[in-house]
Structure 1
Amino acid sequence: MTTVNNTSTTDVLASFRHQQEAAGSKSELGKNEFMELMIAQLKNQNPLEPQENGDFIAQLAQFSSLEEMQKLSQNVDNVVGEFRSTQALQASAMVGRTVLAPANFGMLDDSGEITGVVNVPASTGGLKLSIQNESGELLRRIDLGASEAGQKAFRWDGQDADGNVLPPGRYVVVAEASYPEGNEQLDTLVSSNVDSVSLGKGGNITLNLAGMGSIALADVQQIN
């Protein structure tokens, strides 16, 4: 008498997952594992109750979709890799140039000045810029006058209120606008030189600015 092996696809799948977990590998099915399961199912089906053609075609369609998704995923990874390489190449061309980046301080270097812009959220009749040392001591106050909403450029010539030329170093920049409800401190963007570019994990690109540390490429507001 002939004995029929009634092992089901569920049993085969459970066995496969058990082996994968025991081996400490991934438990997701790839196209090879999917095909092995289909073959195992065909080998072990009951000849008296064979699989319906429609079910078999549906499984083939699933296999085809899986293979296409894997190809698509690989293509996307390739495109992302090329995009990151292009970004890194473009970022490297920024070395030696100056950029505008969000900061409330700037480096006074051999150029003898600190430049940048103030983000003005609403029109103001009085916009002022204060220059302080790192201890918070007020060195100079610059009246930028009235300003419309938008960005207002500023320039500090490196001198204190008495006209003395200050030494190179880091200086704090504080912008304030006068409004009917009171004074409001505003955000500033300061110009700085790009010393080098770093490519981190995941393709993240950071710019290393002179005396100002590192910032993400996405935070750069303007390239001069």
Structure 2
Amino acid sequence: MSVTDTTSSLSLNDILANSSVKTNTTTDGLTGAVSSATGSQSLGKDAFLQLLVTQLKNQNPLEPQDNGAFVAQLAQFSSLEGITTLNTTVSGIASNYNSSQALQASSLVGRSVIAPGSKSVVDTSKSMTGTVVMPSSVSDATLKITDADGKAVRTIDMGAQSAGNASFIWDGKNDAGETVAAGTYTFAASTTIDSQAVSLITNLPATVNSVTISQTGGELMLNLAGLGSVALSKVTTIGI
């Protein structure tokens, strides 16, 4: 009984040919791993690990994974894991910040604030306080108050003022000394700078009716009674 050795008929080219088929299988395996792990989304840590394992399973036996390249891939995986953990931590901090904003918001409702604006709902039975922003030192500034119908009820001479916020007080009376009705009034301040008439910014009191909290991490918006919304950062005084 004779035994025929068929292995001797395999040449180096045959082995390399078989090796090239394996290489194609490796490419197909990696492509399949990426598709099954990620779909149409970007690579995450689980997809990266599945890709790495698939690459090791389908590596070319004649050209195995280099130790240095393998260590580099592990380092990349470790970095990806750290970034994922950092993102989770930052998301938690952002959530806590939003909760803190909600707590701040609840304490502002019903309180009075001073914020930039030209109109204010005034209870004329008592005095109100506001400020006018002076861009520079001026020799004379005037504040004109008009009612909802556009009728001038009071003109306040603020005199010379230095740069900064200049306070004013209105006692709710017109130029004749009579107390006017409560309601919404418009305040317009002006001065003369370099022989040019300049309108000035007024900061007026208002009551906070409600607060709008941004769901995307934006700034708190205060909804003022009869005056609309203003950003919290624009408020100059709280709890007057």
Give the TM-score range, shorter chain.
0.7 to 0.9
d(CA) in 1 for partners of 2:167, 2:217: 33
Q: Tell me the SS of whatever aligns to 2:216.
A: helix
2:46 corresponds to which residue? Answer: 32
1:95 matches 2:112: no
d(CA) in 2 for partners of 1:110, 1:214: 23
**Contact conserved, 1:107 with 1:114, CA < 8 A, in 2?**
no
- Residue deviations 1:75-127 (CA, integer Å, cap 9, x gap): 01111111221122123212222111110111112654442111101000101
> Which stretch shifts more, 69-78 or 199-208?
199-208
Q: Tell me the SS of whatever aligns to 1:71.
A: helix
Where does 1:161-176 land on structure 2 (aligned, <5 Å)? 161-176=175-190
**Contact conserved, 1:131 with 1:174, CA < 8 A, in 2?**
yes
1:208 matches 2:239: no
- Residue deviations 1:123-181 (CA, integer Å, cap 9, x gap): 00101100012343322110011100000011222222222322222111101122232
1:191 corresponds to which residue? Answer: 205
Q: Which amino acid aligns with 1:147?
A: Q
d(CA) in 2 for partners of 1:10, 1:134: 77
**Contact conserved, 2:144 with 2:187, CA < 8 A, in 1?**
yes
- Residue deviations 1:16-58 (CA, integer Å, cap 9, x gap): 555578xxx6521110000000011111110100111000111
> Which stretch shifts more, 44-53 or 158-167?
158-167
* Residues 155, 29 of structure 1: alpha-carbon distance in 2 compared, 3 angstrom cutoff: same
**Contact conserved, 1:8 with 1:45, CA < 8 A, in 2?**
no
* Residues 60, 184 of structure 1: alpha-carbon distance in 2 compared, 3 angstrom cutoff: same
Where does 1:44-123 land on structure 2 (aligned, <5 Å)? 44-109=58-123, 111-123=125-137
**Contact conserved, 2:115 with 2:205, CA < 8 A, in 1?**
yes
Paired residues, what number?
221
Q: Which amino acid aligns with 1:69?
A: I
Q: Tell me the SS of whatever aligns to 2:108.
A: coil
For residue 203 of structure 1, report the CA deviation from its aligned partner. 3.9
1:6 corresponds to which residue? Answer: 23
Structure 2, unaligned runs of 5 or more: 1-9
Q: Which amino acid aligns with 2:95?
A: G
1:124 matches 2:133: no
Q: Which amino acid aligns with 2:229?
A: S
1:182 matches 2:196: yes
d(CA) in 1 for partners of 2:172, 2:48: 70
**Contact conserved, 2:189 with 2:202, CA < 8 A, in 1?**
yes
d(CA) in 2 for partners of 1:201, 1:90: 15
What TM-score do you get using the length of structure 2 for normalisation? 0.82
d(CA) in 2 for partners of 1:8, 1:75: 40
Q: Which amino acid aligns with 1:60?
A: L
What TM-score do you get using the length of structure 1 for normalisation? 0.88
d(CA) in 2 for partners of 1:90, 1:98: 14
Q: Which amino acid aligns with 2:192?
A: S
* Residues 119, 14 of structure 1: alpha-carbon distance in 2 compared, 3 angstrom cutoff: farther
Q: Tell me the SS of whatever aligns to 2:141.
A: strand
RMSD: 2.4
Highest Rg: 1 or 2? Answer: 2
Percent of residue pairs identical: 41
> Which stretch shifts more, 172-181 or 201-210?
201-210
